[in-house]
């Protein structure tokens, strides 16, 4: 788990090692165990390393294989690297290191960009071919690992974090357009702060979509190929499967996913919220024979009627499976000072209240471990949200989805932002186009597909990556094992959304964990102080939105801002998020990054 960086210069002349060093500096927290930089002619590559597999210097990056004429920077992990290594050795390849990085390098040489289809893992990488000058980029199927890039002035730069590119721009300007992208702003304010790839909130910085290979030729010519998309349809060979059959298949696939994510040369713990998903991971690890497992839970003080912790449930699992459990309690006096650092750790604006929770949890966990498993993704993959059941028989899937998931109507958006940002209803158009694609049978399938392949990638998954990597902590997400996701897509949606959701997963879990954790009311990762803004939190928000930088930027109409500040807790989105926090977070992120 690392941070990667680079610059490609087209048309002759050396790439800038200075710019890449600036990115490396910004990404130091992602890889506190080592730094590397390689520059030759029109290419410069940078890397920050977190030692997880092959802790020796033999696995340092950038990794250059002079015999093959390739140089690689790689962020992530390939869980099946040992099996692939044996296959490659059978083809005559010889290895000088014991980790997965060199396997990626050799696999690329053996199979080209199609090597990604053999990988089980989470990854973003760039490979430079000395002979052709071609650079190939790739990102994992579910976009767990990030990859940002910007093109200007005859050069292209890339990084694991968007702010890294801004730091490089300050170190050696290219002329990157940092104006607000109107389409991205619409998504941020409407599509529950989800800005789908390749967009970011800034016009001149893009991100590689998940499951995508992008090739840049020496002259700057670019091409892209999407190599994976899970089907949300029923297969003929599955027609005879009973409910019990599906439960068994889910449990088997999840067990495999959890076991894969034990591959490491350091201990692996679990972020245990006390909910079904993380509890099931703990139960399966116990069934796999793991002992001395360290688990971690976080809680906040209650604000009003908003309960701030779920320790009673995490304690049940910790006691049942005999884990070494860490309860981490955070009061508001600690959370408030951490907000600035949390926002600085965001590659993009992340409005969800639990970002600071993950940030503070990761800080504490990183004092004990460098690798954990997390239950992120189960709600999207197995249908745990309340908007899925009504969509089974929906005659207006787009409208029904938008009414529940969108933070505001297009009319309200037009009254919120400055007129220069008002255009088409981009978010509704995006959902319409996505729902119209083949490969999803019902309205529920369409919603599950967009949430799994779009919303999940650019909200919860990105949040977990950014907040854990801010402390040099690697988070692995077994519910996003691509084979498990493919299996879940084939399951009849009524088996997923039955009851309060995730029915087939819950029934499978009864074979592993106590029912009191399964049948409990649905919980979440609560940070009540950011939902009900008052006291110093409200003062911070007010100062941010009244700052000279905010007034000069003029993103929002002033009557809209003044109305929110006058009644800070009266305006909530359909998903019960604070509209005031939403706009304040965006403005704070822009100010933090000097945009």
Is residue 590 in some structural domain?
no
According to DSSP, residue 460 is labeled I
76-113: burial string, b at 16+ Cβ within 10 Å, e else: bbbbbbeebbeebeeeebeeebbbbbbbbbbbbbbeeb
CA distances, 259 to each of 141, 196, 281, 323 (Å): 19, 31, 10, 17
Whether residues 453 and 511 fall in one domain: yes
At how many degrees (to 10) do helices 397-405 and 443-450 cross? 50
504: which 2 tokens?
A: 């087939």
Whether residues 57 and 163 fall in one domain: yes
So what's the pLDDT on residue 11? 86
Q: Which domain holds residue 185?
A: 2-226
So what's the pLDDT on residue 524? 57
Last residue of one domain, picked from the residues 192, 226, 260? 226
So what's the pLDDT on residue 396? 97
Is residue 61 in some structural domain?
yes
Give which of 252, 162, 227, 233 is closest to 199, Cα–Cα.
162
Whether residues 68 and 203 fall in one domain: yes
Give which of 72, 69, 76, 43 is closest to 60, Cα–Cα.
72
Whether residues 355 and 267 fall in one domain: yes
List 2, 165, 202, 339, catalytic entry: 2
Tell me how far apart the alpha carbons of residues 148 and 254 are, in angstroms, rounded to a whole number: 30
Number of domains in the chain: 2
Cβ atoms of residues 502 and 276 within 8 Å: yes
Is residue 171 in some structural domain?
yes
How do the pLDDT tens digits run along the chain, 595 residues long? 699 999 999 988 999 999 999 999 999 999 999 999 999 989 999 999 999 999 999 999 999 999 999 999 999 999 999 999 999 999 999 999 999 999 999 999 999 999 999 999 999 999 999 999 999 999 999 999 999 999 999 999 999 999 999 999 999 999 999 999 999 999 999 999 999 999 999 999 999 999 999 999 999 999 999 999 999 999 999 999 999 999 999 999 999 999 999 999 999 999 998 899 999 999 999 999 999 999 999 887 665 555 556 787 899 999 999 999 999 887 767 778 899 999 999 999 999 888 988 899 999 999 999 999 999 999 999 999 999 999 998 999 999 999 999 999 999 999 999 999 999 999 999 999 999 999 999 999 999 999 999 999 999 999 999 999 999 999 999 999 999 999 999 999 999 999 889 999 999 999 999 999 998 776 655 566 677 788 888 999 999 999 999 999 999 999 999 999 999 888 889 888 899 999 999 999 999 999 9
So what's the pLDDT on residue 571? 84
Angle of CA points 446, 447, 450, to nearest 5°: 85
* Cis bond upstream, residue 174 (ω within 30): no
Whether residues 162 and 260 fall in one domain: no
Is residue 143 in some structural domain?
yes
Cβ atoms of residues 451 and 381 within 8 Å: no
Whether residues 464 and 505 fall in one domain: yes
Residue 2 annotated among the catalytic residues of the structure: yes
So what's the pLDDT on residue 523? 61
Which SS3 state, helix, strand or coil, does residue 253 take?
helix
CB atoms within 10 A of CB 36: 19
Whether residues 22 and 63 fall in one domain: yes
pTM over 0.85: yes
Is residue 400 in some structural domain?
no
Whether residues 49 and 88 fall in one domain: yes
Last residue of one domain, picked from the residues 510, 529, 548? 529
Last residue of one domain, picked from the residues 511, 529, 547? 529
So what's the pLDDT on residue 101? 97
Whether residues 428 and 469 fall in one domain: yes
So what's the pLDDT on residue 238? 95
So what's the pLDDT on residue 402? 96
Which residue intervals of 177-293 are DSSP H helices? Answer: 182-190, 243-260, 276-287
CA distances, 576 to each of 283, 325, 411 (Å): 32, 31, 20
Is residue 576 in some structural domain?
no
Is residue 347 in some structural domain?
yes
557: which 2 tokens?
A: 């109409």
Whether residues 265 and 206 fall in one domain: no
State the CATH number of the domain containing residue 74. 3.60.20.10
Cβ atoms of residues 253 and 487 within 8 Å: yes
According to DSSP, residue 16 is labeled -
Tell me how far apart the alpha carbons of residues 150 and 132 are, in angstroms, rounded to a whole number: 22
Whether residues 48 and 121 fall in one domain: yes
- Size of the chain, expressed as the number of residues it contains: 595
State the CATH number of the domain containing residue 446. 3.40.50.620
344-363: burial string, b at 16+ Cβ within 10 Å, e else: ebbbbbbbbbbbbbbbbbbb
So what's the pLDDT on residue 521? 74
Whether residues 299 and 211 fall in one domain: no
């Amino acid at each position: 788990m690392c941070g990667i960086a680079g610059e490609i210069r087209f048309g002759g002349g050396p790439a800038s090692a200075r710019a890449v060093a600036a990115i490396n500096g910004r990404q130091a927290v992602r890889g506190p165990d080592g730094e590397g930089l390689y520059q030759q002619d029109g290419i410069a590559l940078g890397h920050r390393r977190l030692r997880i597999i092959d802790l020796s210097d033999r696995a340092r990056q950038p990794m250059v294989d002079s015999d093959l004429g390739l140089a690689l920077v790689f962020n992530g992990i390939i869980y099946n690297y040992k099996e692939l290594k044996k296959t490659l050795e059978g083809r005559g390849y010889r290895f000088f290191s014991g980790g997965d990085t060199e396997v990626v390098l050799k696999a690329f040489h053996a199979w080209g960009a199609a090597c990604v289809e053999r990988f089980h893992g989470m990854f973003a990488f760039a490979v430079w071919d000395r002979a052709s000058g071609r650079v190939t980029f790739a990102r994992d199927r579910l976009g767990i690992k990030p990859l940002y890039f910007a093109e200007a002035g005859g050069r292209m730069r890339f990084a694991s974090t968007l702010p890294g590119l801004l730091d490089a721009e300050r170190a050696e300007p290219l002329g990157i357009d940092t104006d607000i992208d109107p389409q991205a702003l619409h998504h941020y304010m409407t599509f529950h702060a989800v800005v789908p790839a390749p967009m970011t909130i800034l016009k001149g910085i893009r991100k590689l979509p998940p499951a995508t290979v992008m090739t840049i030729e020496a002259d700057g010519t670019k091409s892209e190929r999407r190599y994976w998309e899970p089907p949300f349809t029923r297969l003929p060979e599955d027609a005879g499967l009973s409910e019990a059959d599906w439960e068994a298949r889910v449990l088997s696939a999840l067990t495999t996913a959890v076991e894969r994510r034990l591959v490491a040369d350091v201990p692996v713990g679990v972020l245990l919220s006390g909910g079904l998903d993380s509890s099931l991971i703990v139960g399966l690890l116990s069934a796999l024979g793991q002992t001395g497992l360290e688990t971690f839970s976080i809680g906040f003080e209650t604000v009003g009627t908003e309960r701030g912790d779920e320790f009673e449930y995490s304690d049940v699992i910790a006691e049942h499976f005999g884990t070494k459990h860490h309860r981490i309690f955070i009061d508001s006096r600690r959370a408030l000072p951490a907000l600035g650092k949390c926002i600085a750790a965001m590659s993009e604006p992340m409005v969800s209240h639990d970002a600071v929770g993950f940030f503070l949890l990761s800080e504490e966990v990183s004092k004990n471990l460098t690798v954990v498993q997390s239950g992120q993704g189960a709600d999207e993959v197995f249908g745990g949200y309340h908007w899925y059941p009504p969509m089974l028989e929906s005659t207006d899937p787009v409208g029904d989805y938008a009414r529940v998931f969108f933070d505001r109507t297009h009319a309200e958006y037009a009254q919120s932002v400055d007129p220069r940002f008002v255009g088409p209803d981009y978010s509704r158009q995006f959902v319409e186009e996505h729902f119209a694609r083949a490969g999803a049978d019902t309205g529920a399938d369409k919603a599950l597909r967009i949430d799994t392949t779009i919303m999940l990638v650019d909200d919860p998954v990105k949040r977990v990556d950014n907040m854990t990597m801010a402390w040099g902590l690697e988070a692995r997400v077994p519910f996003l094992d691509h084979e498990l996701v493919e299996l879940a897509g084939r399951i009849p949606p009524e088996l997923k959304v039955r009851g309060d959701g995730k029915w087939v997963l819950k029934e499978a879990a009864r074979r592993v964990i106590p029912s009191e954790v399964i049948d409990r009311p649905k919980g979440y990762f609560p940070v009540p102080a950011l939902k009900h803004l008052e006291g110093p939190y409200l003062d911070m928000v007010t100062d941010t939105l009244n700052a000279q930088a905010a007034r000069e930027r003029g993103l929002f109409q002033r009557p809209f801002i003044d109305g929110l500040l006058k009644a800070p807790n009266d305006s909530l989105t359909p998903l019960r998020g604070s509209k005031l926090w939403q706009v304040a977070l965006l403005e704070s992120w822009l100010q933090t990054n000097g945009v």
